[in-house]
Structure 1
Amino acid sequence: MQLANKTIVVTGAGSGIGRELSLQLLQRGANVAGVDINSNALDETSRLGALGPGQFKGFQTDITNLERVSSLPAEVLAHFGTVDGIINNAGIIQPFRPILELTMEDIDRVMAVNFYGTLYLTKAFLPLLLARPEAHIANVSSMGGFLPVPGQTLYGAAKAAVKLLTEGLYAELKDTHVKVTVVFPGAVATNIMQNSGLHVPKADTGDESKFKPISPGEAAGQILRAIEKNKFRAVVGRDAWAMDKLYRFSPKYAADLIQRKMRSLLR
Protein backbone atom coordinates (compact mmCIF):
# COMPACT_ATOMS: atom_id res chain seq x y z
CA MET A 1 0.00 0.00 0.00
CA GLN A 2 1.34 3.40 -0.94
CA LEU A 3 0.97 5.73 2.05
CA ALA A 4 1.28 9.14 0.41
CA ASN A 5 -2.03 11.02 0.30
CA LYS A 6 -3.75 8.31 2.36
CA THR A 7 -5.58 8.93 5.64
CA ILE A 8 -4.47 6.55 8.38
CA VAL A 9 -5.96 6.19 11.88
CA VAL A 10 -3.27 5.51 14.50
CA THR A 11 -4.16 4.57 18.08
CA GLY A 12 -1.79 5.38 20.91
CA ALA A 13 -0.60 8.34 18.82
CA GLY A 14 0.36 10.43 21.83
CA SER A 15 3.60 8.61 22.69
CA GLY A 16 6.01 5.80 21.92
CA ILE A 17 5.57 3.78 18.76
CA GLY A 18 2.22 5.45 18.02
CA ARG A 19 3.78 8.91 17.99
CA GLU A 20 6.61 7.71 15.76
CA LEU A 21 4.16 6.01 13.41
CA SER A 22 2.26 9.28 13.16
CA LEU A 23 5.36 11.39 12.51
CA GLN A 24 6.75 9.01 9.91
CA LEU A 25 3.39 8.76 8.16
CA LEU A 26 3.26 12.56 7.98
CA GLN A 27 6.75 12.61 6.49
CA ARG A 28 5.55 10.12 3.86
CA GLY A 29 2.78 12.52 2.89
CA ALA A 30 -0.06 10.69 4.65
CA ASN A 31 -2.74 12.33 6.76
CA VAL A 32 -3.04 10.98 10.29
CA ALA A 33 -6.05 10.75 12.57
CA GLY A 34 -4.26 10.34 15.88
CA VAL A 35 -6.21 8.59 18.62
CA ASP A 36 -5.15 8.67 22.26
CA ILE A 37 -6.71 8.97 25.70
CA ASN A 38 -4.33 11.85 26.53
CA SER A 39 -5.26 15.06 24.68
CA ASN A 40 -2.09 16.88 25.76
CA ALA A 41 0.03 14.09 24.30
CA LEU A 42 -1.88 14.37 21.03
CA ASP A 43 -1.20 18.10 20.98
CA GLU A 44 2.52 17.41 21.34
CA THR A 45 2.45 14.89 18.49
CA SER A 46 0.67 17.47 16.35
CA ARG A 47 3.33 20.07 17.18
CA LEU A 48 6.17 17.68 16.34
CA GLY A 49 4.58 16.70 13.04
CA ALA A 50 3.80 20.22 11.88
CA LEU A 51 6.69 20.30 9.39
CA GLY A 52 5.64 17.13 7.58
CA PRO A 53 3.76 17.33 4.27
CA GLY A 54 0.83 15.37 5.73
CA GLN A 55 -1.85 16.71 8.06
CA PHE A 56 -2.43 15.58 11.65
CA LYS A 57 -5.55 15.85 13.78
CA GLY A 58 -5.92 14.38 17.24
CA PHE A 59 -9.07 12.66 18.48
CA GLN A 60 -9.12 12.22 22.26
CA THR A 61 -10.63 8.77 22.75
CA ASP A 62 -10.80 6.01 25.34
CA ILE A 63 -10.68 3.01 23.00
CA THR A 64 -12.38 0.82 25.64
CA ASN A 65 -15.52 2.97 25.36
CA LEU A 66 -17.60 1.38 22.60
CA GLU A 67 -19.98 4.31 22.28
CA ARG A 68 -17.11 6.77 21.86
CA VAL A 69 -15.29 4.54 19.35
CA SER A 70 -18.50 4.07 17.35
CA SER A 71 -18.76 7.85 16.89
CA LEU A 72 -15.15 8.20 15.74
CA PRO A 73 -15.45 7.24 12.03
CA ALA A 74 -17.93 10.06 11.37
CA GLU A 75 -15.62 12.57 13.06
CA VAL A 76 -12.60 11.42 11.06
CA LEU A 77 -14.62 11.51 7.83
CA ALA A 78 -15.88 15.01 8.62
CA HIS A 79 -12.30 16.26 8.88
CA PHE A 80 -10.41 14.22 6.25
CA GLY A 81 -13.14 13.02 3.91
CA THR A 82 -11.77 9.46 3.66
CA VAL A 83 -10.16 6.73 5.74
CA ASP A 84 -7.68 4.39 4.05
CA GLY A 85 -6.17 2.47 6.95
CA ILE A 86 -5.98 1.86 10.67
CA ILE A 87 -3.02 0.93 12.83
CA ASN A 88 -4.22 -0.51 16.14
CA ASN A 89 -1.13 0.23 18.18
CA ALA A 90 -2.44 1.32 21.61
CA GLY A 91 -1.74 -1.11 24.42
CA ILE A 92 -0.83 -1.54 28.07
CA ILE A 93 0.98 -4.24 30.00
CA GLN A 94 -0.25 -5.88 33.21
CA PRO A 95 1.27 -5.63 36.69
CA PHE A 96 4.25 -8.01 36.86
CA ARG A 97 2.41 -10.67 38.86
CA PRO A 98 1.30 -14.27 38.29
CA ILE A 99 -2.33 -14.86 37.33
CA LEU A 100 -3.20 -15.93 40.89
CA GLU A 101 -2.27 -12.46 42.22
CA LEU A 102 -4.00 -10.38 39.55
CA THR A 103 -7.27 -8.72 40.48
CA MET A 104 -10.23 -8.97 38.14
CA GLU A 105 -9.90 -5.21 37.70
CA ASP A 106 -6.34 -5.72 36.42
CA ILE A 107 -7.52 -8.46 34.07
CA ASP A 108 -10.49 -6.51 32.72
CA ARG A 109 -8.37 -3.42 32.04
CA VAL A 110 -5.67 -5.31 30.14
CA MET A 111 -8.22 -7.18 28.01
CA ALA A 112 -10.26 -4.03 27.40
CA VAL A 113 -7.36 -1.93 26.11
CA ASN A 114 -5.37 -4.56 24.24
CA PHE A 115 -8.09 -6.75 22.74
CA TYR A 116 -11.46 -5.02 22.87
CA GLY A 117 -9.98 -1.64 21.91
CA THR A 118 -8.50 -3.26 18.81
CA LEU A 119 -11.76 -5.05 18.03
CA TYR A 120 -13.89 -1.92 18.54
CA LEU A 121 -11.73 0.21 16.22
CA THR A 122 -11.61 -2.49 13.58
CA LYS A 123 -15.39 -3.01 13.51
CA ALA A 124 -16.04 0.73 13.53
CA PHE A 125 -13.78 1.53 10.58
CA LEU A 126 -14.03 -1.66 8.49
CA PRO A 127 -17.10 -0.56 6.48
CA LEU A 128 -15.23 2.58 5.41
CA LEU A 129 -12.12 0.61 4.48
CA LEU A 130 -14.13 -1.85 2.39
CA ALA A 131 -15.44 1.09 0.35
CA ARG A 132 -11.92 2.24 -0.60
CA PRO A 133 -10.03 1.04 -3.69
CA GLU A 134 -7.04 0.25 -1.47
CA ALA A 135 -6.96 -0.03 2.33
CA HIS A 136 -5.01 -1.61 5.16
CA ILE A 137 -5.44 -2.85 8.73
CA ALA A 138 -2.32 -3.32 10.87
CA ASN A 139 -2.79 -4.70 14.38
CA VAL A 140 0.09 -4.63 16.86
CA SER A 141 0.31 -7.86 18.84
CA SER A 142 3.55 -8.63 20.71
CA MET A 143 6.34 -11.14 21.08
CA GLY A 144 4.30 -12.06 24.17
CA GLY A 145 1.45 -12.95 21.84
CA PHE A 146 3.24 -16.08 20.63
CA LEU A 147 5.66 -16.73 23.51
CA PRO A 148 4.57 -17.20 27.16
CA VAL A 149 6.13 -14.62 29.50
CA PRO A 150 5.64 -15.30 33.24
CA GLY A 151 4.30 -12.21 34.97
CA GLN A 152 2.72 -11.06 31.71
CA THR A 153 0.50 -14.07 31.05
CA LEU A 154 -2.75 -12.13 30.83
CA TYR A 155 -1.13 -9.47 28.62
CA GLY A 156 0.15 -12.27 26.40
CA ALA A 157 -3.31 -13.83 26.24
CA ALA A 158 -4.77 -10.50 25.12
CA LYS A 159 -2.07 -10.08 22.47
CA ALA A 160 -2.52 -13.69 21.33
CA ALA A 161 -6.19 -12.84 20.85
CA VAL A 162 -5.10 -9.87 18.72
CA LYS A 163 -2.91 -12.25 16.69
CA LEU A 164 -5.77 -14.66 15.94
CA LEU A 165 -8.23 -11.81 15.35
CA THR A 166 -5.87 -10.31 12.78
CA GLU A 167 -5.12 -13.60 11.06
CA GLY A 168 -8.85 -14.30 10.90
CA LEU A 169 -9.45 -10.87 9.38
CA TYR A 170 -6.79 -11.61 6.78
CA ALA A 171 -8.65 -14.76 5.74
CA GLU A 172 -12.05 -13.05 5.72
CA LEU A 173 -10.79 -10.08 3.70
CA LYS A 174 -8.46 -11.93 1.35
CA ASP A 175 -10.70 -11.38 -1.68
CA THR A 176 -11.20 -7.67 -0.96
CA HIS A 177 -9.03 -4.58 -1.40
CA VAL A 178 -8.31 -4.47 2.38
CA LYS A 179 -4.90 -5.91 3.24
CA VAL A 180 -4.07 -7.05 6.77
CA THR A 181 -0.82 -7.17 8.76
CA VAL A 182 -0.16 -8.56 12.24
CA VAL A 183 2.84 -7.03 14.01
CA PHE A 184 4.99 -8.71 16.69
CA PRO A 185 7.34 -6.22 18.37
CA GLY A 186 9.96 -7.35 20.83
CA ALA A 187 11.48 -4.98 23.39
CA VAL A 188 11.02 -1.34 22.39
CA ALA A 189 12.30 1.58 24.47
CA THR A 190 8.94 3.24 25.19
CA ASN A 191 7.14 4.49 28.30
CA ILE A 192 4.56 1.68 28.22
CA MET A 193 5.25 0.86 31.89
CA GLN A 194 4.42 4.38 33.02
CA ASN A 195 1.41 4.55 30.70
CA SER A 196 0.23 1.27 32.20
CA GLY A 197 0.52 2.75 35.69
CA LEU A 198 3.31 0.39 36.71
CA HIS A 199 6.70 0.44 38.37
CA VAL A 200 8.70 -2.62 37.40
CA PRO A 201 11.88 -3.62 39.26
CA LYS A 202 14.89 -4.30 37.06
CA ALA A 203 15.76 -7.97 36.80
CA ASP A 204 19.18 -8.92 38.13
CA THR A 205 20.37 -11.20 35.35
CA GLY A 206 24.07 -10.84 36.09
CA ASP A 207 24.84 -9.78 32.54
CA GLU A 208 23.57 -7.47 29.83
CA SER A 209 21.25 -8.90 27.22
CA LYS A 210 22.65 -9.04 23.73
CA PHE A 211 19.23 -7.98 22.50
CA LYS A 212 18.90 -4.27 23.25
CA PRO A 213 15.48 -2.64 23.02
CA ILE A 214 15.07 -0.88 19.71
CA SER A 215 13.93 2.73 19.47
CA PRO A 216 10.28 3.60 18.83
CA GLY A 217 11.38 5.23 15.58
CA GLU A 218 13.07 2.07 14.35
CA ALA A 219 10.03 -0.03 15.30
CA ALA A 220 7.67 2.38 13.55
CA GLY A 221 9.81 2.32 10.41
CA GLN A 222 9.70 -1.47 10.27
CA ILE A 223 5.92 -1.48 10.75
CA LEU A 224 5.33 1.06 7.98
CA ARG A 225 7.59 -0.80 5.58
CA ALA A 226 5.58 -3.96 6.27
CA ILE A 227 2.37 -2.08 5.49
CA GLU A 228 3.85 -0.68 2.28
CA LYS A 229 4.74 -4.23 1.21
CA ASN A 230 1.34 -5.62 2.34
CA LYS A 231 3.09 -8.16 4.55
CA PHE A 232 0.94 -10.70 6.36
CA ARG A 233 3.32 -10.80 9.33
CA ALA A 234 5.93 -8.36 10.67
CA VAL A 235 8.35 -9.41 13.42
CA VAL A 236 9.98 -6.27 14.82
CA GLY A 237 13.34 -6.37 16.58
CA ARG A 238 16.17 -8.91 16.81
CA ASP A 239 14.83 -10.39 20.05
CA ALA A 240 11.38 -11.01 18.60
CA TRP A 241 12.92 -12.46 15.44
CA ALA A 242 15.17 -14.83 17.42
CA MET A 243 12.45 -15.95 19.82
CA ASP A 244 10.00 -16.46 16.96
CA LYS A 245 12.46 -18.86 15.32
CA LEU A 246 13.24 -20.61 18.62
CA TYR A 247 9.60 -20.95 19.66
CA ARG A 248 8.63 -22.51 16.34
CA PHE A 249 11.55 -24.96 16.65
CA SER A 250 10.94 -25.89 20.31
CA PRO A 251 8.06 -24.21 22.17
CA LYS A 252 8.94 -25.83 25.51
CA TYR A 253 12.62 -24.84 25.35
CA ALA A 254 11.70 -21.26 24.46
CA ALA A 255 9.14 -21.11 27.30
CA ASP A 256 11.68 -22.47 29.80
CA LEU A 257 14.29 -19.95 28.63
CA ILE A 258 11.96 -16.99 29.13
CA GLN A 259 10.86 -18.37 32.52
CA ARG A 260 14.48 -18.38 33.73
CA LYS A 261 15.02 -14.83 32.46
CA MET A 262 11.87 -13.56 34.16
CA ARG A 263 12.24 -15.42 37.48
CA SER A 264 13.77 -12.49 39.36
CA LEU A 265 10.74 -10.31 38.54
CA LEU A 266 8.29 -12.80 40.07
CA ARG A 267 8.91 -12.63 43.77
Structure 2
Amino acid sequence: MKVQGKVVVVTGGGSGMGRALVLRLLSKGARVAAVDLNAASLQETAQLAQAAERLSTHVLNITQREAVEALPAEVMARHGAVDGLINNAGIIQPFVRVNDLDYGAIERVMNVNFYGTLYMTKAFLPHLLQRPEAHIVNISSMGGFLPVPGQSVYGASKAAVKLLSEGLFAELLDTPVRVTVVFPGAVSTNITVNSGVAIRAAEGRQPAARPLEPERAAQIIVEGMEQNRFRVLVGSDARLMDFLYRLSPERAARFIYRQMRSLLGAS
Protein backbone atom coordinates (compact mmCIF):
# COMPACT_ATOMS: atom_id res chain seq x y z
CA MET A 1 0.00 0.00 0.00
CA LYS A 2 1.49 3.32 -1.03
CA VAL A 3 1.26 5.66 1.94
CA GLN A 4 0.82 8.98 0.15
CA GLY A 5 -2.60 10.35 1.02
CA LYS A 6 -3.32 7.50 3.44
CA VAL A 7 -4.06 7.70 7.17
CA VAL A 8 -1.70 5.59 9.28
CA VAL A 9 -1.78 5.00 13.05
CA VAL A 10 1.62 4.50 14.71
CA THR A 11 2.02 3.33 18.31
CA GLY A 12 5.08 4.35 20.27
CA GLY A 13 5.19 7.48 18.15
CA GLY A 14 6.73 9.65 20.85
CA SER A 15 10.32 8.49 20.52
CA GLY A 16 12.83 6.18 18.89
CA MET A 17 11.76 4.11 15.92
CA GLY A 18 8.13 5.13 16.38
CA ARG A 19 8.98 8.81 16.06
CA ALA A 20 11.13 8.04 13.01
CA LEU A 21 8.20 6.15 11.47
CA VAL A 22 5.86 9.10 12.07
CA LEU A 23 8.29 11.52 10.43
CA ARG A 24 8.99 9.16 7.53
CA LEU A 25 5.29 8.65 6.79
CA LEU A 26 4.63 12.38 6.92
CA SER A 27 7.54 13.04 4.56
CA LYS A 28 5.92 10.68 2.05
CA GLY A 29 2.60 12.49 2.15
CA ALA A 30 0.66 10.40 4.65
CA ARG A 31 -1.57 11.62 7.44
CA VAL A 32 -0.53 10.14 10.79
CA ALA A 33 -2.14 9.49 14.15
CA ALA A 34 0.76 9.14 16.60
CA VAL A 35 -0.02 7.19 19.77
CA ASP A 36 2.13 7.09 22.90
CA LEU A 37 1.85 6.85 26.68
CA ASN A 38 4.12 9.87 27.13
CA ALA A 39 2.42 13.18 26.34
CA ALA A 40 5.67 15.20 26.44
CA SER A 41 7.36 12.89 23.94
CA LEU A 42 4.39 13.11 21.62
CA GLN A 43 4.57 16.89 21.78
CA GLU A 44 8.25 16.74 20.82
CA THR A 45 7.36 14.57 17.84
CA ALA A 46 4.71 17.06 16.77
CA GLN A 47 7.18 19.95 17.07
CA LEU A 48 9.72 18.11 14.94
CA ALA A 49 7.11 17.18 12.34
CA GLN A 50 5.63 20.64 11.78
CA ALA A 51 2.85 18.85 9.88
CA ALA A 52 -0.16 20.92 10.98
CA GLU A 53 -3.43 19.08 10.32
CA ARG A 54 -1.74 15.99 8.84
CA LEU A 55 -0.60 14.84 12.30
CA SER A 56 -2.71 14.11 15.34
CA THR A 57 -1.37 12.94 18.70
CA HIS A 58 -3.15 10.58 21.07
CA VAL A 59 -1.98 9.90 24.64
CA LEU A 60 -2.94 6.31 25.30
CA ASN A 61 -1.93 3.22 27.26
CA ILE A 62 -2.28 0.41 24.73
CA THR A 63 -2.68 -2.17 27.52
CA GLN A 64 -6.04 -0.62 28.50
CA ARG A 65 -8.51 -2.32 26.19
CA GLU A 66 -11.44 0.06 26.66
CA ALA A 67 -9.26 3.08 25.91
CA VAL A 68 -7.92 1.36 22.79
CA GLU A 69 -11.42 0.52 21.62
CA ALA A 70 -12.32 4.23 21.76
CA LEU A 71 -9.32 5.27 19.66
CA PRO A 72 -10.60 4.51 16.13
CA ALA A 73 -13.45 6.97 16.54
CA GLU A 74 -10.97 9.67 17.65
CA VAL A 75 -8.71 9.02 14.68
CA MET A 76 -11.55 9.05 12.17
CA ALA A 77 -13.03 12.19 13.68
CA ARG A 78 -9.71 13.90 13.02
CA HIS A 79 -8.69 12.33 9.71
CA GLY A 80 -11.91 10.97 8.21
CA ALA A 81 -10.66 7.40 7.78
CA VAL A 82 -7.88 5.01 8.72
CA ASP A 83 -5.92 2.98 6.16
CA GLY A 84 -2.94 1.63 8.06
CA LEU A 85 -1.75 0.55 11.49
CA ILE A 86 1.86 0.16 12.62
CA ASN A 87 2.06 -1.62 15.97
CA ASN A 88 5.49 -0.41 17.02
CA ALA A 89 5.21 0.20 20.78
CA GLY A 90 7.14 -2.28 22.88
CA ILE A 91 9.29 -2.76 25.95
CA ILE A 92 12.03 -5.16 27.05
CA GLN A 93 12.31 -7.06 30.31
CA PRO A 94 14.95 -6.71 33.03
CA PHE A 95 18.05 -8.53 31.79
CA VAL A 96 17.74 -11.62 34.02
CA ARG A 97 16.97 -15.30 33.66
CA VAL A 98 13.35 -16.46 33.82
CA ASN A 99 14.05 -17.99 37.23
CA ASP A 100 14.85 -14.52 38.59
CA LEU A 101 12.12 -12.59 36.77
CA ASP A 102 9.15 -11.55 38.87
CA TYR A 103 5.59 -12.00 37.64
CA GLY A 104 4.95 -8.26 37.56
CA ALA A 105 7.68 -7.79 34.95
CA ILE A 106 6.45 -10.80 32.98
CA GLU A 107 2.89 -9.49 32.84
CA ARG A 108 4.02 -5.97 31.92
CA VAL A 109 6.06 -7.20 28.95
CA MET A 110 3.30 -9.49 27.69
CA ASN A 111 0.63 -6.82 28.18
CA VAL A 112 2.50 -4.16 26.20
CA ASN A 113 4.11 -6.25 23.49
CA PHE A 114 1.44 -8.86 22.80
CA TYR A 115 -1.87 -7.69 24.22
CA GLY A 116 -1.27 -4.07 23.21
CA THR A 117 -0.67 -5.22 19.64
CA LEU A 118 -3.72 -7.48 19.77
CA TYR A 119 -6.00 -4.78 21.22
CA MET A 120 -4.94 -2.25 18.58
CA THR A 121 -5.41 -4.77 15.79
CA LYS A 122 -8.84 -5.82 17.01
CA ALA A 123 -9.93 -2.21 17.43
CA PHE A 124 -8.87 -1.04 13.97
CA LEU A 125 -9.35 -4.14 11.80
CA PRO A 126 -13.10 -3.69 11.23
CA HIS A 127 -12.41 -0.19 9.89
CA LEU A 128 -9.45 -1.30 7.79
CA LEU A 129 -11.63 -3.95 6.16
CA GLN A 130 -13.92 -1.20 4.86
CA ARG A 131 -11.13 0.53 2.93
CA PRO A 132 -10.24 -0.14 -0.74
CA GLU A 133 -6.76 -1.13 0.48
CA ALA A 134 -5.24 -1.18 3.94
CA HIS A 135 -2.20 -2.46 5.79
CA ILE A 136 -1.17 -3.72 9.23
CA VAL A 137 2.52 -3.67 10.16
CA ASN A 138 3.49 -5.47 13.36
CA ILE A 139 6.95 -4.94 14.82
CA SER A 140 8.29 -8.20 16.21
CA SER A 141 12.03 -8.52 16.88
CA MET A 142 15.09 -10.54 16.02
CA GLY A 143 14.40 -11.95 19.50
CA GLY A 144 11.06 -13.19 18.18
CA PHE A 145 12.75 -15.93 16.16
CA LEU A 146 16.09 -16.26 17.97
CA PRO A 147 16.40 -17.04 21.71
CA VAL A 148 18.25 -14.35 23.67
CA PRO A 149 19.13 -15.39 27.23
CA GLY A 150 18.06 -12.76 29.70
CA GLN A 151 15.26 -11.69 27.37
CA SER A 152 13.32 -14.95 27.17
CA VAL A 153 9.92 -13.51 28.09
CA TYR A 154 10.48 -10.50 25.82
CA GLY A 155 11.31 -12.97 23.04
CA ALA A 156 8.20 -15.00 23.81
CA SER A 157 6.07 -11.86 23.52
CA LYS A 158 7.64 -10.98 20.18
CA ALA A 159 7.31 -14.58 18.94
CA ALA A 160 3.61 -14.27 19.78
CA VAL A 161 3.48 -11.09 17.65
CA LYS A 162 5.20 -13.00 14.83
CA LEU A 163 2.66 -15.85 14.83
CA LEU A 164 -0.28 -13.48 15.30
CA SER A 165 0.89 -11.50 12.27
CA GLU A 166 1.42 -14.56 10.12
CA GLY A 167 -2.00 -15.90 11.08
CA LEU A 168 -3.60 -12.56 10.25
CA PHE A 169 -1.80 -12.55 6.89
CA ALA A 170 -3.44 -15.86 6.00
CA GLU A 171 -6.86 -14.93 7.37
CA LEU A 172 -6.92 -11.67 5.40
CA LEU A 173 -5.70 -12.95 2.02
CA ASP A 174 -9.16 -12.56 0.47
CA THR A 175 -9.62 -9.05 1.85
CA PRO A 176 -8.14 -5.61 1.01
CA VAL A 177 -5.91 -5.76 4.13
CA ARG A 178 -2.27 -6.79 3.81
CA VAL A 179 -0.06 -7.72 6.78
CA THR A 180 3.69 -7.28 7.25
CA VAL A 181 5.74 -8.56 10.19
CA VAL A 182 9.03 -6.79 10.93
CA PHE A 183 12.10 -8.18 12.68
CA PRO A 184 14.49 -5.39 13.75
CA GLY A 185 17.92 -6.19 15.10
CA ALA A 186 19.74 -3.61 17.19
CA VAL A 187 18.33 -0.12 16.62
CA SER A 188 19.64 2.96 18.41
CA THR A 189 16.61 3.88 20.56
CA ASN A 190 15.86 4.60 24.21
CA ILE A 191 13.87 1.38 24.72
CA THR A 192 15.80 0.50 27.89
CA VAL A 193 14.86 3.82 29.50
CA ASN A 194 11.25 3.57 28.34
CA SER A 195 11.13 0.03 29.70
CA GLY A 196 12.53 1.08 33.06
CA VAL A 197 15.38 -1.38 32.61
CA ALA A 198 19.06 -0.90 33.46
CA ILE A 199 21.50 -3.08 31.54
CA ARG A 200 25.14 -3.08 32.58
CA ALA A 201 27.76 -2.97 29.86
CA ALA A 202 29.49 -6.20 28.93
CA GLU A 203 33.07 -5.79 30.16
CA GLY A 204 35.60 -5.89 27.36
CA ARG A 205 33.04 -6.81 24.73
CA GLN A 206 32.16 -4.73 21.72
CA PRO A 207 28.66 -4.90 20.21
CA ALA A 208 28.36 -7.59 17.53
CA ALA A 209 26.91 -5.01 15.16
CA ARG A 210 26.57 -1.26 15.27
CA PRO A 211 22.96 -0.34 16.06
CA LEU A 212 20.99 0.96 13.11
CA GLU A 213 19.78 4.54 13.26
CA PRO A 214 16.00 4.82 13.78
CA GLU A 215 15.62 6.86 10.58
CA ARG A 216 17.15 4.07 8.48
CA ALA A 217 15.03 1.46 10.26
CA ALA A 218 11.90 3.50 9.55
CA GLN A 219 12.85 3.82 5.90
CA ILE A 220 13.21 0.03 5.58
CA ILE A 221 9.90 -0.59 7.35
CA VAL A 222 7.90 1.89 5.29
CA GLU A 223 9.44 0.51 2.09
CA GLY A 224 8.37 -2.98 3.15
CA MET A 225 4.87 -1.70 3.84
CA GLU A 226 4.65 -0.02 0.44
CA GLN A 227 5.88 -3.20 -1.25
CA ASN A 228 3.32 -5.32 0.63
CA ARG A 229 6.09 -7.56 1.90
CA PHE A 230 5.18 -10.47 4.17
CA ARG A 231 8.41 -10.31 6.19
CA VAL A 232 10.96 -7.53 6.72
CA LEU A 233 14.37 -7.94 8.38
CA VAL A 234 15.86 -4.68 9.65
CA GLY A 235 19.63 -4.48 10.05
CA SER A 236 22.60 -6.63 9.10
CA ASP A 237 22.48 -8.43 12.47
CA ALA A 238 18.87 -9.48 11.93
CA ARG A 239 19.67 -10.76 8.44
CA LEU A 240 22.74 -12.65 9.64
CA MET A 241 21.03 -14.27 12.62
CA ASP A 242 18.01 -15.19 10.51
CA PHE A 243 20.39 -17.02 8.14
CA LEU A 244 22.29 -18.73 10.96
CA TYR A 245 19.12 -19.74 12.79
CA ARG A 246 17.73 -21.34 9.65
CA LEU A 247 20.97 -23.32 9.22
CA SER A 248 21.11 -24.56 12.82
CA PRO A 249 18.82 -23.27 15.56
CA GLU A 250 20.95 -24.85 18.31
CA ARG A 251 24.22 -23.38 17.07
CA ALA A 252 22.61 -19.97 16.68
CA ALA A 253 21.28 -20.18 20.25
CA ARG A 254 24.72 -21.13 21.58
CA PHE A 255 26.32 -18.28 19.62
CA ILE A 256 23.93 -15.71 21.11
CA TYR A 257 24.54 -17.11 24.59
CA ARG A 258 28.28 -16.58 24.21
CA GLN A 259 27.62 -12.98 23.16
CA MET A 260 25.27 -12.30 26.05
CA ARG A 261 26.63 -14.38 28.93
CA SER A 262 28.53 -11.49 30.56
CA LEU A 263 25.27 -9.51 30.85
CA LEU A 264 23.87 -12.43 32.83
CA GLY A 265 26.86 -12.52 35.14
CA ALA A 266 28.15 -15.81 33.76
CA SER A 267 31.83 -16.67 34.16
TM range (shorter): over 0.9
Structure 1 residues 119-198: aligned runs within 5 Å: 119-198=118-197
Whichever residue aligns with residue 258 of structure 2, its letter is R
Q: Secondary structure at the match of 2:193?
A: helix
Give 1:21's aligned residue: 21
Give 1:8's aligned residue: 8
Give 1:222's aligned residue: 220
Post-superposition CA distance 1:125-147 (Å, at most 9, x none): 00000000010000000000000
Question: Does residue 90 of structure 2 align to residue 103 of structure 1?
Answer: no
Shift of 1:208: 2.9
Shift of 1:261: 0.6
Question: Does residue 42 of structure 2 align to residue 35 of structure 1?
Answer: no
Give 1:251's aligned residue: 249
Paired residues of 1:36 and 1:59 also in contact (CA < 8 A)? yes
Post-superposition CA distance 1:156-201 (Å, at most 9, x none): 0000000000000000001111000000000000000000001110
Q: Secondary structure at the match of 1:22?
A: helix
CA distance in 1 between counterparts of 2:184 and 2:98 reads 23
Post-superposition CA distance 1:53-100 (Å, at most 9, x none): 871110000000001001000111111110000000000000000001
Paired residues of 1:5 and 1:54 also in contact (CA < 8 A)? no
Give the RMSD, CA atoms, in angstroms: 1.0
Whichever residue aligns with residue 23 of structure 2, its letter is L
CA distance in 2 between counterparts of 1:199 and 1:133 reads 45
CA distance in 1 between counterparts of 2:150 and 2:76 reads 41
Identify unmatched segments of 5+ residues in structure 2.
none
Question: Does residue 237 of structure 2 align to residue 239 of structure 1?
Answer: yes
Shift of 1:211: 1.6
CA distance in 2 between counterparts of 1:151 and 1:210 reads 17
Paired residues of 1:29 and 1:53 also in contact (CA < 8 A)? no
Paired residues of 1:29 and 1:54 also in contact (CA < 8 A)? no
CA distance in 2 between counterparts of 1:54 and 1:143 reads 35
Give 1:92's aligned residue: 91
Paired residues of 1:98 and 1:150 also in contact (CA < 8 A)? yes
Over 3 Å counting, the alpha-carbon distance change for 1:232 and 1:54 in structure 2 is farther
Over 3 Å counting, the alpha-carbon distance change for 1:207 and 1:108 in structure 2 is closer
Q: Percent of aligned positions with the same letter in both sequences?
A: 58
CA distance in 2 between counterparts of 1:77 and 1:22 reads 17
CA distance in 1 between counterparts of 2:138 and 2:53 reads 22
Over 3 Å counting, the alpha-carbon distance change for 1:4 and 1:53 in structure 2 is farther
Give 2:260's aligned residue: 262
Post-superposition CA distance 1:193-238 (Å, at most 9, x none): 000001110112x453452100000100000000000000000000
Shift of 1:3: 0.5
Q: Secondary structure at the match of 1:183?
A: strand
Query: Following TM superposition, where does structure 1 have runs of at least 4 consecutive aligned residues deviating by more than 2 angstroms?
Result: 206-210
Question: Does residue 115 of structure 2 align to residue 116 of structure 1?
Answer: yes
CA distance in 2 between counterparts of 1:148 and 1:99 reads 12
Paired residues of 1:28 and 1:53 also in contact (CA < 8 A)? no
Give 1:62's aligned residue: 61
Paired residues of 1:13 and 1:45 also in contact (CA < 8 A)? yes
Whichever residue aligns with residue 58 of structure 2, its letter is F
Paired residues of 1:5 and 1:31 also in contact (CA < 8 A)? yes
Count residues in correspondence: 265
CA distance in 2 between counterparts of 1:114 and 1:231 reads 22
CA distance in 1 between counterparts of 2:156 and 2:197 reads 19
